[in-house]
Amino acid sequence: MNSPALSLFDPPQLDSDITLTEQISTMLVTKITQLGIRPGSRLPSVRALAQHLGVSRFTIVAVYNRLSDEGWIHPRQGAGYFVQARQSPPRDDGGMRLGSDAIEQTPSHRTLDVSWLLHGLLRDVSDPAIPGSAALLPAKWMDSELLASATRSVGRAPGHLILGYGHPRGYLPLRQTLASRLQALDIPANPDSNLLLTAGVTHAVDLVLRALTKPGDTVLVEDPAWFLVFGRLAAAGVQVLGVPRTPQGPDIDVLAQMAQAHRPKLFIVNSAVHNPTGYSLQASNAFQVLKLAQQHDFHIFEDDTYGDLHAGGAIRLAALDGLQRVLYANGFSKTLAAGLRCAFLAAAPGLINTLTDLKLLSGLTTPELNERVLQRAMSSGQFRRHLDRLRNRVDVARVETMKRLSDLDVSIHHDPAGGMFVWGDCHRDSDQLARSAAGEGMLLAPGSLFSPTQAPSSHIRFSVALAENPAAWRILEKLLG
């Protein structure tokens, strides 16, 4: 019975804001998702863990009960608690797993699946011990005081300002600030007619899918691309086809052929700092993409989530197109705080009207409280300075990460143009490598996750947060050396 050493478990920090049960639960889930505590292993006894952490047994019982309810661990009669072997929280009704079609199509040998990774990434409080696949930058790189002071400032304004539902398109001063930023990127956004605030870029994708597609329609994505979108598209019942992403942009020949053969309604693209490769679109490629969109009458969803990490001067499709066929989305999860859930869509006025109706029908307005906090944070010069610092820090960490990966014979075929990820070719099956890493307590994101068909791949998406983590390099050396 391979029970982990008690020393693995961190004692709780006294933090009046978080209950002990919550703190200890989060610590355990972090260990479980990062496989510091392996599936199947037995957890310490209630008495031993209570004694080790200096808390009451009642607290540990509450923690174990909660984690059992959530499906991370399970009790075994008379033998204690064990880490759930299947790496996805189990369903207790068995019947309904909606929105999981993409997950269920994944090859059964896959250890990691979308649902598991997503739950793990979200539990992971942005500072994982071993950041192999982190979706966020380390907390210490962010300007948390900027956010806190903006929140206090909003709290000092008269409280009646947030009693109402707010504007259907979102808080106008924030739309005005965003419009100025877009205009600086040559995207001609009018704050009144071209902008809609959303609760994150994922919410924006959701509204656009509702507006522009119906089940059975074809939607093109890049290959590779962000895995969450595959799940969303599968849930919408649309046919998903992948267009290979080259360092210059989407493969134009394949795009032309697919547009001709499948009459897609939509093409979802990261133009600047593509996730996972970090590539940015070249002008001639962008022009070709827009020409095909016009010729075959499809819309383009330009997801610019990572674009703010580009040094500047990247091409945006929305700028070339002038917000005709391109719907542009961006947010602040990577640069300010994921917990704000503030993002926006820029598009043609007619589309914005339709999307506003859909936003109202599916959830009324977005919270003006957050929009005021974001507006306050952005209107101080501090945000711009934070963004510059963050970009520099990410650039330094990326160069360092690439250098160390190349020392381990991981090939980066084309330099990324910016951003927090490095798309490295490990010259072997990356699913297998991710499994081995998991065995060492490190979560890696293998290439198959980013493939619309979950095809095996020799690539891994590495996070630049690795640069500052010696423990991670020891594991990578062992696995790749």
Per CB under 8 A, the list member of 104, 192, 297, 415 interacting with a second copy is 192
Residues 225-244 within binding reach of a second copy (CB under 8 A) = 228, 231-232, 235
Q: How far is CA 13 from CA 43, 54, 67, 417, in A?
A: 21, 11, 20, 40
Interaction of residue 308 with a second copy, rule CB under 8 A: no
Per CB under 8 A, the list member of 155, 244, 322, 439 interacting with a second copy is 155
Residues 156-175 within binding reach of a second copy (CB under 8 A) = 156-168, 172-173
Q: Closest CB to a second copy among 174 and 220?
A: 174
Nearest approach, Cβ of residue 480 and a second copy (Å): 29
Residues 104-143 within binding reach of a second copy (CB under 8 A) = 115, 118-119, 121-126, 135-136, 139, 142-143
Nearest approach, Cβ of residue 390 and a second copy (Å): 12
Q: Closest CB to a second copy among 91 and 413?
A: 91
Size of the site for a second copy (CB under 8 A): 102
In the block, residue with structure tokens 């009646």: 160
Residues 32-51 within binding reach of a second copy (CB under 8 A) = none
Q: Closest CB to a second copy among 154 and 320?
A: 154
Interaction of residue 297 with a second copy, rule CB under 8 A: no
Q: Closest CB to a second copy among 43 and 154?
A: 154
Interaction of residue 468 with a second copy, rule CB under 8 A: no
Per CB under 8 A, the list member of 89, 188, 247, 456 interacting with a second copy is 89
| Number of CB atoms found within 10 A of residue 61's CB | 13
Nearest approach, Cβ of residue 118 and a second copy (Å): 6
Interaction of residue 299 with a second copy, rule CB under 8 A: no
Interaction of residue 472 with a second copy, rule CB under 8 A: no
Nearest approach, Cβ of residue 88 and a second copy (Å): 10
Q: What is the identity of the amino acid at 364?
A: L
Residues 373-402 as x/- pattern, contact with a second copy by CB under 8 A: x-----------------------------
Q: Closest CB to a second copy among 211 and 378?
A: 211
Per CB under 8 A, the list member of 4, 39, 80, 99 interacting with a second copy is 99
